[in-house]
Structure 1
């Protein structure tokens, strides 16, 4: 080639060939894309058609955004579905059964032990006189009442001063002269109702409608006194296991009552006994129910000792039964059923196992450190959390924080209370009583911040009760004879007709039988499942994209490839520019 006609020298620059420009790569994407609108936009030759396609794409993108927002809102709502199914099984674990007398105190035991304990004397005074003080004589009442409580009562009378002054003048006294408790008692008669019940109304400052009945107040006093007793004395004045449960048979075999029932003290029902409890002293074995029906039931005979109960306790004649999981804390005072004497009670049950979802689908709580800080009744490593135990703990926590005292019938030690040594609330402290009523009112109006969700896993026993008269007339005499041998003090010693009638009345007023059995050996599982899962959300988004713009998974990959290639070329361009700044350009001939 002639040097004069040779091509000019080529200089290497940072400018890429035209086919490697961003615009060229974008044109290539539009031409090959599976997204319908983009390909039509590339194929349109006239400006008008391209404008129409641009507007169409923008409108479609707005609709896509709106549709996508609906899908996101549905997904973020975290709604749940409930799945119910029956699980097939050959055997079921038998639950724990707690039995209590509806009346917590035996009067005979109280009379025997009262001289040795001032709290028991107060309990006996409550039964005899209807109050915890020995009587309503002026001197004894003045010595019993504290000055602080008396002054508090007098200070609350100001809201009813005018009416009180009129009534007092009729007696020759004035309200300003009422400075001693004997004048206050006179004022009680002037008002025309029980002074202390009127004060209870005044303490609420008109918030609570009505008054607490005397029977309710007596029952509350019994509960407070029992809660303050030492455990050994509390057990000694209650119903003993061999007196309460005179007959026990499980799966057709007799059981040793003293061995298979575990005692625990309930603040409201006194001595309670649990069959099949989770006892640490015994080997970890499961008591299995081989079949359903009464033949394989737990059958118990109960003696409520109605003639030896404390009337002031305010209970009904009967026995309290509670069927529950052996790992849960029993609350027979809240969840138990009361069986009356003179009946044979059949309690058919079925087990329901519930699984709830935690965050973000729900607010259930698992047994962890957080649960032990909410439920003071969790004392064992494998004990289960309960919402009721959490609510009782929360109530006690507010009593401690607001009233500076703890109720004796709820736990006051443990993690939920920070290990503080808090004094007990006393029934004769008027300020504490008023404070408790304010806490009760706040609880009733849902003003207490008690974060007590349901447990994530819970086993519930649903029971159905039926009853017939017991015993049948043909077996009345033989049943009375058998019970006479075990409980001679409750029956007569003669055998004449009137004595036999009295014995029958004793039987039907004090004794009952109960059979607890599985109605069905299958158990029901209720579980929550996410109503809208991640895979469903992704599938709906993909379907929506395909509907509006024809975008599929391959189209998404094409867009990702384009973005990555752009990043690569831009980075390569920047790197080449830096190399060009440090290395002289070479002319290639």
Structure 2
């Protein structure tokens, strides 16, 4: 008799020799294999539990655990991207900021009167026709040639039409339907009183009406628009002569008790609207003025002459000066964010320094230095949101309107817009500016905040100047220093006193830091997986292998097999009908379709019909074999004949 070990060796030899074949595994087989072999206890209990009730309970528990992992995992990831803000206060010697000062009366009226004569004359007529008395009306005569940008009345009392009347000439025309108003009014706005508006028209007489409810605001904006048109073609050297020099504007200057010369200590800056401005401690020489003590005696003291008796009547609505406080070698946007300094007052500006440091990607979209911003800067200064947005709008203006906005820096090879060279540019400008405000241009989205910046917190305090006791001698002394004759004395309304100093030498640093690190995040996720699913990160790899590798591979194989079979059938054509039928002997146990496509059937030997021999073999004991692989032929006997 052959031993059991011999039978096993024969069985292994048969398995190694015979070709193993069977159906491909399916997704169901893969899931069955995974549930029986996974390291997650809950998943295994689904496969090994007996009865539908236990299986259902374990399915519910497993789904709850998976849901908890996803929910708490999302919270952990969100907390990873959150930030913590810390505030640090240091006491140290501080660098004094750059100070830019401009007069609210930018140009000498006696020097620019000839340049603005026609505009001033028409403005006086417009004010008179509006119903505002003008002292110099006798000199105001209406020109035969109207200004290119009219100031008009809009009468919307009549349905389906608007009557447009020129304020200066009195001529009117009727616009059928509703006019396009650039205001917060709706297009079908109806008013019992006419509205005053600025009419700007482009090509083909397409017009926009910039409407106002206040006639004063309308006249100021209308005058400013014409003033920009005029100054856009005036050379820089001529504009410099129209304004005031540093010695004329800054009467006296002290820094930390030391006299500073206005002509040498201040650098001139040409502003498109405010004219000649002057910057103290601008940093162009590479030097920085440091302050070692706080208080008003250790800052900058200036006495400014605003010269109200020689100001432009329709441009300078306010009196005094504008102060801009900024870092060295940066551009001051003084008209937008400057501090107004009133005349006949002593203004004290106390400073504190705040450093703001933000986290970049992935915590925010701030930029470090603007090098990753797709906007070419027109400013000779470091990146800021304002320089980026102004540069972006200027490039869009040149692209859309064919000329540059006068209030922004001029790119090389371009020229400022002017109604003589670019008729209708105002219409294009208003269209573009409305798109900018509505964020339809890319400028606001592209120009991101900077990650690190220094801000100066300003506290303003005011006091009357001069006092009654010192008024007489103080004004006479200042007039004498200015070289005025004895009968010509400065008035308090001409003088503005400014003190700029550090309130203390503390520098507050506001910095952001990650609320959690990547190590903390991974540790928390690992604990979460162990708590709810009793598995480690290897279980995650296991799940990824099943669902990201095996699943797609099975689906791809099935798709390729289906496509290959369809293509082969198409090439082969329909099979001919068989004329002779032969009996097919099925294997013992049923038809081939009874074997489901599982992983186990792929390991079974093919069972083919074995023909019975006509002559029985000799009955030699040495040739007798034990049952192999559980197969016993029909009619076979394990005993001796």
TM-score by length of 2: 0.64
Are 2:309 and 1:307 aligned? yes
Instruction: Give secondary structure in 2 for the equivalent of 1:488.
Output: coil
What is the alpha-carbon distance in structure 2 between the residues aligned to residue 164 and residue 88 of structure 1? Answer: 66
Are 2:224 and 1:231 aligned? no
What is the alpha-carbon distance in structure 2 between the residues aligned to residue 77 and residue 397 of structure 1? Answer: 41
Q: Superposition RMSD on alpha carbons, in Å?
A: 4.8
Residue 189 of structure 1 and its aligned partner are, at CA, apart by: 11
1:204–1:438 CA contact under 8 A, matched in 2: no
What is the alpha-carbon distance in structure 2 between the residues aligned to residue 424 and residue 349 of structure 1? Answer: 39
Residue 396 of structure 1 and its aligned partner are, at CA, apart by: 2.3
What is the alpha-carbon distance in structure 2 between the residues aligned to residue 459 and residue 521 of structure 1? Answer: 15
Instruction: Give secondary structure in 1 for the equivalent of 2:419.
Output: coil
RCO higher in 1 or 2 (8 Å CA, sep ≥ 6)? Answer: 1
- Of 453, 458, 462, which aligns to 2:453? 458
1:106–1:310 CA contact under 8 A, matched in 2: yes
What is the alpha-carbon distance in structure 1 between the residues aligned to residue 320 and residue 227 of structure 2? Answer: 18
2:122–2:140 CA contact under 8 A, matched in 1: no
Residue 464 of structure 1 and its aligned partner are, at CA, apart by: 0.7
- Of 433, 439, 448, which aligns to 1:446? 439
In structure 1, the partner of 2:95 is: 93
In structure 1, the partner of 2:491 is: 507
Instruction: Give secondary structure in 2 for the equivalent of 1:544.
Output: helix
Residue 409 of structure 1 and its aligned partner are, at CA, apart by: 2.1
- Of 469, 473, 476, which aligns to 1:478? 473
Residue 263 of structure 1 and its aligned partner are, at CA, apart by: 0.9
Residue 438 of structure 1 and its aligned partner are, at CA, apart by: 2.3
Are 2:527 and 1:543 aligned? yes
Q: How does 1:219-298 map to 2 (within 5 A)?
A: 219-279=224-284, 282=285, 284-298=286-300
Residue 335 of structure 1 and its aligned partner are, at CA, apart by: 0.6
Residue 485 of structure 1 and its aligned partner are, at CA, apart by: 1.8
Q: Which has the higher helix share?
A: 1
1:318–1:339 CA contact under 8 A, matched in 2: yes
Which of structures 1 and 2 has the bigger CA Rg?
2
- Of 401, 404, 416, which aligns to 1:403? 401
- Of 510, 514, 523, which aligns to 1:526? 510
What is the alpha-carbon distance in structure 2 between the residues aligned to residue 14 and residue 476 of structure 1? Answer: 123
Runs of 5+ consecutive residues of structure 1 not aligned to the other structure:
17-24, 112-120, 168-180, 415-419, 568-589
What is the alpha-carbon distance in structure 2 between the residues aligned to residue 322 and residue 405 of structure 1? Answer: 29
Q: Deviations for 1:392-430, whole angstroms, at most 9, x for unmatched residues?
A: 22332332233332222212416xxxxx64662427966
In structure 2, the partner of 1:393 is: 391
Are 2:342 and 1:344 aligned? no
In structure 1, the partner of 2:428 is: 435
What number of residue pairs does the alignment pair up?
Answer: 491
What is the alpha-carbon distance in structure 2 between the residues aligned to residue 558 and residue 320 of structure 1? Answer: 65
Instruction: Give secondary structure in 2 for the equivalent of 1:522.
Output: strand
Residue 250 of structure 1 and its aligned partner are, at CA, apart by: 1.4
In structure 2, the partner of 1:60 is: 62
2:232–2:417 CA contact under 8 A, matched in 1: no
1:127–1:310 CA contact under 8 A, matched in 2: no
Instruction: Give secondary structure in 1 for the equivalent of 2:144.
Output: helix
TM-score by length of 1: 0.69
Q: How does 1:417-436 map to 2 (within 5 A)?
A: 421=414, 424-426=417-419, 431-436=424-429
1:347–1:463 CA contact under 8 A, matched in 2: yes
Q: How does 1:15-94 map to 2 (within 5 A)?
A: 48=50, 52=54, 56=58, 59-60=61-62, 63-68=65-70, 71-72=73-74, 75=77, 79-81=81-83, 83-94=85-96
- Of 216, 222, 225, which aligns to 2:221? 216
Q: Deviations for 1:42-97, whole angstroms, at most 9, x for unmatched residues?
A: 9x9x8539994795377335532453255337636975435141331321111111
Q: Deviations for 1:316-350, whole angstroms, at most 9, x for unmatched residues?
A: 11010011111321111001011111111110111
In structure 1, the partner of 2:625 is: none
1:352–1:523 CA contact under 8 A, matched in 2: yes
Instruction: Give secondary structure in 2 for the equivalent of 1:459.
Output: strand
What is the alpha-carbon distance in structure 1 between the residues aligned to residue 467 and residue 247 of structure 2? Answer: 24
What is the alpha-carbon distance in structure 2 between the residues aligned to residue 162 and residue 68 of structure 1? Answer: 63
2:296–2:501 CA contact under 8 A, matched in 1: yes
